[in-house]
């Protein structure tokens, strides 16, 4: 089923293993693709290497399993579904898992939703990046001016990832709205927070357009509440990510300094998976500042019993920037 | 509160940091002790180092945070509550968190429970290891013959850990029953499975004696059921632990070979925290063999949707050893 929807590049997988004479291969898949793990392992084995599938959660290329591969003595990592974000010391092949779904039909429908605007930015995940041209043609044919951003942070122009919307931010001032192409609401919500523009989110898997304006409103309200709540806190935990692309000691040290200047108690906490259970082990801590994945605070706030702020939200809490600045600069720019 | 119950050795902590001129210290605590993390961080900071508390789950010294410390550029690990199990390449101080609770009172009461037997083995966790002599005296005064085992695997004679009861196994044939001293049922159940002897489990925190015979019976029944269920499975996942003291590729490769000889499909899965959620990502896999922590299968079976076997249980399933051999050899000996 999955191989009908996503291009798993099985032939390339075999070729990479032969070419590199890999003996032990660690296969890493994002949550949605994990079910194909056993099938891919078979292919790796046929190609002559020992396959090991990582069963740990993986939400991005920030989580590339370098130390895991080292400890397992793997000589090659095959990482599915994301593009390179961290230089790995172990040879790594990225398979982008492009979606084999057509976007034309739902895009034709989206033209109605786009009718109020003439200047449109397009953004998408790597799974649909090959559809950007199709989308551009459909929109220009309908008389729209299409802009696709390229800030150079991620692999492809127009590509967005969960925590990086720089390609969209780069053109936000030049467009009236964004067309987002991709499954679910996760990236579309991120895009809205990053740009504060209207988003038409077309989902080519479900062939539908997701309304996300209410989600964004709800999240903004929640973020404002979390910041207000955290203002009352006396004891803070500063979360330092342990996933290789999420460690940001510099940001953590800076936030720690600011909190101390403000008379707060601060404990630095190193953490891999940020779960409500893990944080509940520290009852004396009133609120958290998360220097790791910004999406944990934004998307999972209701799961946690204490407020968790992103670094930029912490600056608002501390009065170093205003709520409006946060809105304008977006949630995903590292400006601390 | 915790510092009243456990000796956190705060003075030694300061001295170790000064002596080693540590600049950045990673503090690792088992779940029950995590609430003292912020307090210990303060002490580390007073001693002149930057403290970082690990917020990841930690159930034993098998899980010593070496690669985490490396990635955080910590120059010292302070590990609480366990004794050394893995040689770490980063300087590591173990603080045993000895319990400051008296055992005499509950031991006097336990004499009644021990009345059917005259030859008694004593086992305990490192938290109460200093109470072994007290216990020995009380028992010998009551006319018992006391034996404390020393197989040389763990730090202290008589000490048991979640997955290693070798000190008790070494004397199991020489005793009629075991006195276990420690909190909760976890180690007492392990001791029963390892030795198949009657266990009198005295809990000096709650000042009570835990009945565990029914728990052991329930677990044995459940293990037998899991093995039977796994016999019907066609597709297996062999779990390879990613915690540094849990990686056992040799065992995993051997089990993989056996399963293949038996005509089963096998996928090797590398995993840090074995959770029901992580395993549910692989719907095509019918059953798991866990070469990492044996306690996951034994204690948490009901949380998982598919059977998980220990390596030794897998040998029973494959007909390589009998259920009786498993019972006799115990759950924790590595005999595959």
What does the pLDDT profile of chain B (336 residues) look like in tens digits? 666 799 999 999 999 999 999 999 999 999 989 999 999 999 999 999 999 999 999 999 999 999 999 999 999 999 999 999 999 889 999 999 999 999 999 999 999 999 999 999 999 999 999 999 999 999 999 999 999 999 999 999 999 999 999 999 999 999 999 999 999 999 999 999 999 999 999 999 999 999 999 999 999 999 999 999 999 999 999 999 999 999 999 999 999 999 999 999 999 999 999 999 999 999 999 999 999 999 998 998 999 999 999 999 999 999 999 999 999 988 887 766
Asked if B306 and B330 touch (Cβ cutoff 8 Å), the reply is no
Alpha-carbon distance of A290 to A252, in angstroms, equals 8
Count chain A–chain B contacts defined by CB atoms under 8 A: 135
- Can you name the residues that pair with A92 across neighbouring β-strands? A77
- What integer pLDDT is reported at residue A56 of this predicted model? 97
User: Hey, are the CB atoms on A278 and B57 less than 8 Å from each other?
Assistant: yes
Domains B2-97 and B218-329 share a fold: yes
Cα angle at B315 between A24 and A56, to 5 degrees?
Answer: 40
Asked if A62 and A164 touch (Cβ cutoff 8 Å), the reply is no
Instruction: For residue B238, give the nearest of B277, B276, B264 by alpha carbon.
Output: B264
- Give the domain B218-329 fold: Rossmann fold (3.40.50)
Give the sheet arrangement for strand B24-28, strand by strand. A308-310, A287-290, A235-241, A265-271, B50-54, B24-28, B76-80, B92-95
SS3 A203: strand
Q: B44, B70, B281, B285: best mutation site toward chain A, by most A Cβ within 10 Å?
A: B281
Alpha-carbon distance of A192 to B247, in angstroms, equals 43
Q: Enter the DSSP assignment of B83.
A: -
Backbone angles phi, psi at A99, to 5 degrees: -80, 135
Asked if B157 and B150 touch (Cβ cutoff 8 Å), the reply is yes
Alpha-carbon distance of A136 to A143, in angstroms, equals 11
Alpha-carbon distance of A20 to B277, in angstroms, equals 34
User: Hey, are the CB atoms on A270 and B55 less than 8 Å from each other?
Assistant: yes
User: Hey, are the CB atoms on B278 and A244 less than 8 Å from each other?
Assistant: no
Instruction: Give the model's confidence band at A334: pLDDT under 50 very low, under 70 low, under 90 confident, else very high.
Output: confident
Asked if A25 and A49 touch (Cβ cutoff 8 Å), the reply is yes
Backbone angles phi, psi at B5, to 5 degrees: -90, -40
Instruction: Give the model's confidence band at A1: pLDDT under 50 very low, under 70 low, under 90 confident, else very high.
Output: low
- What integer pLDDT is reported at residue A88 of this predicted model? 86
Residues of A in contact with B284 (CB under 8 A): 35, 38-39
Question: Tell me: the pLDDT tens digits for A197-229?
Answer: 999 999 999 999 999 999 999 999 999 999 999
Alpha-carbon distance of A202 to A209, in angstroms, equals 4
Alpha-carbon distance of A199 to B182, in angstroms, equals 59
Residues of A in contact with B282 (CB under 8 A): 34-35, 37-38, 55
Cα angle at A97 between A92 and A100, to 5 degrees?
Answer: 160
Residues of B in contact with A279 (CB under 8 A): 55
Instruction: Give the model's confidence band at A329: pLDDT under 50 very low, under 70 low, under 90 confident, else very high.
Output: confident
User: Hey, are the CB atoms on A272 and B56 less than 8 Å from each other?
Assistant: yes
Instruction: For residue B50, give the nearest of A267, A306, A259 by alpha carbon.
Output: A267
Structure tokens at B170: 């070494």
Residues of B in contact with A51 (CB under 8 A): 267-268
Residues of B in contact with A268 (CB under 8 A): 41, 50-53
User: Hey, are the CB atoms on A282 and B68 less than 8 Å from each other?
Assistant: no
* Residue whose pair of structure tokens reads 């034996």 in the numeric block: B147
User: Hey, are the CB atoms on A73 and B31 less than 8 Å from each other?
Assistant: no
- What ipTM was predicted for this assembly? 0.94
- What integer pLDDT is reported at residue A336 of this predicted model? 67
Compute and round to an integer the Cα radius of gyration of chain A: 21
Residue B48, min C-alpha distance to chain A (Å): 15
User: Hey, are the CB atoms on B284 and A67 less than 8 Å from each other?
Assistant: no
Beta strands in B131-264 (DSSP E): 145-147, 177-181, 199-203, 208-210, 235-241
Helix (H) or strand (E) holding A178: strand A177-181
- Give the domain B2-97 fold: Rossmann fold (3.40.50)
The residue ranges of every structural domain in chain B are 2-97, 104-211, 218-329
Residues of B in contact with A52 (CB under 8 A): 240, 268-270
Question: Tell me: the pLDDT tens digits for A37-58?
Answer: 999 999 999 999 999 999 999 9
Asked if B36 and B3 touch (Cβ cutoff 8 Å), the reply is yes
User: Hey, are the CB atoms on B38 and A267 less than 8 Å from each other?
Assistant: yes
Residue A336 half-sphere exposure, CB side, CA atoms within 13 Å? 28
Residue A134, min C-alpha distance to chain B (Å): 33
CATH class entry, domain A104-211:
alpha beta
- Can you name the residues that pair with B308 across neighbouring β-strands? B288
SS3 B280: helix
Q: Closest residue of B to A245, CA-based?
A: B71
| Number of neighbours of residue B117 by Cβ within 10 angstroms | 18
Structure tokens at B328: 């006799």
Pairing, β B92-95 against β B76-80: parallel
Pairing, β B145-147 against β B119-124: parallel
Please tell me the pTM assigned to this model: 0.95
**Segments in A31-151 forming alpha helices (H):** 37-46, 66-71, 104-113, 132-141
SS3 B208: strand
Backbone angles phi, psi at A101, to 5 degrees: -120, 140
Mean pLDDT for the stretch of residues A249-265 = 97
Asked if A31 and B283 touch (Cβ cutoff 8 Å), the reply is no
Q: Chain B residues within 8 A (CB-CB) of chain A?
A: 26, 31, 34-35, 37-39, 41, 50-57, 65, 67-68, 71-73, 235, 237, 239-240, 242, 244, 247, 249, 265, 267-273, 278-279, 281-285
Give A134-170 as a DSSP string: HHHHHHHHTT-EEE----SSSSSTTB-BTTB-HHHHT
Q: Closest residue of B to A241, CA-based?
A: B72
Q: Estimate to the nearest angstrom the gap between the alpha carbon of A40 and the chain centroid.
A: 24
Instruction: For residue A235, give the nearest of A274, A263, A275, A269 by alpha carbon.
Output: A263
Contacting residues for B253 by C-beta, under 8 A, at least 6 apart: none
3-state secondary structure B35-46: HHHHHHHHHHHH
Residue A274, min C-alpha distance to chain B (Å): 8
- What integer pLDDT is reported at residue A54 of this predicted model? 98
CA pseudo-torsion sign A204, A207, A213, A217: negative
User: Hey, are the CB atoms on B270 and A68 less than 8 Å from each other?
Assistant: yes
Structure tokens at A171: 């053109």
Instruction: For residue A28, give the nearest of A2, A57, A50, A54 by alpha carbon.
Output: A54
- Give the domain A223-329 fold: Rossmann fold (3.40.50)
Alpha-carbon distance of B27 to B41, in angstroms, equals 8
């Amino acid at each position: 089923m999955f191989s009908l929807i996503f291009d798993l590049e099985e032939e390339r997988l075999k070729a990479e293993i032969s070419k590199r004479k890999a003996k032990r291969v660690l296969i890493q898949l994002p949550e949605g693709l994990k079910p194909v793990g056993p099938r891919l392992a078979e292919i790796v084995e046929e190609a002559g290497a020992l396959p090991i599938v990582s069963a740990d959660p993986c939400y991005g290329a920030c989580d590339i399993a370098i130390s895991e591969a080292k400890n397992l003595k793997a000589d090659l990592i095959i990482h599915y579904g994301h593009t390179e974000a961290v230089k790995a010391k172990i040879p790594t092949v990225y398979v982008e898992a492009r979606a084999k779904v057509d976007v034309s039909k739902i895009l034709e429908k989206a033209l109605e939703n786009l009718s109020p605007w003439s200047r449109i930015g397009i953004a998408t995940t790597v799974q649909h990046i090959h559809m950007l041209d199709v989308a551009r043609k459909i929109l220009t044919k309908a008389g729209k001016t299409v802009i696709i951003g390229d800030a150079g942070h991620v692999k492809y122009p127009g590509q967005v990832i969960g925590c990086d919307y720089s390609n969209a931010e780069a053109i936000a001032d030049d467009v009236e709205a964004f067309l987002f192409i991709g499954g679910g609401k996760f990236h579309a919500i991120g895009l809205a927070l990053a740009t504060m523009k209207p988003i038409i989110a077309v989902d080519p898997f479900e062939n539908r357009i997701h309304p996300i304006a209410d989600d964004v409103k709800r999240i903004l309200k929640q973020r404002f509440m979390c910041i207000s709540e955290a203002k009352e806190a006396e004891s803070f935990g500063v979360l330092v990510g342990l996933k290789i692309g999420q460690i940001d000691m510099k940001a953590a040290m800076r936030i720690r300094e600011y909190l101390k200047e403000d008379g707060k108690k601060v404990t630095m906490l190193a953490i891999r998976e940020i779960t409500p259970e893990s944080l509940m082990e520290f009852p004396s801590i009133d609120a958290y500042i998360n220097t790791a994945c910004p999406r944990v605070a934004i998307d999972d706030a209701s799961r946690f019993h204490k407020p968790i702020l992103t670094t930029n939200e912490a600056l608002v809490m501390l009065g170093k920037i205003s709520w409006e600045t946060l809105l304008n600069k977006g949630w995903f720019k590292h400006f601390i």
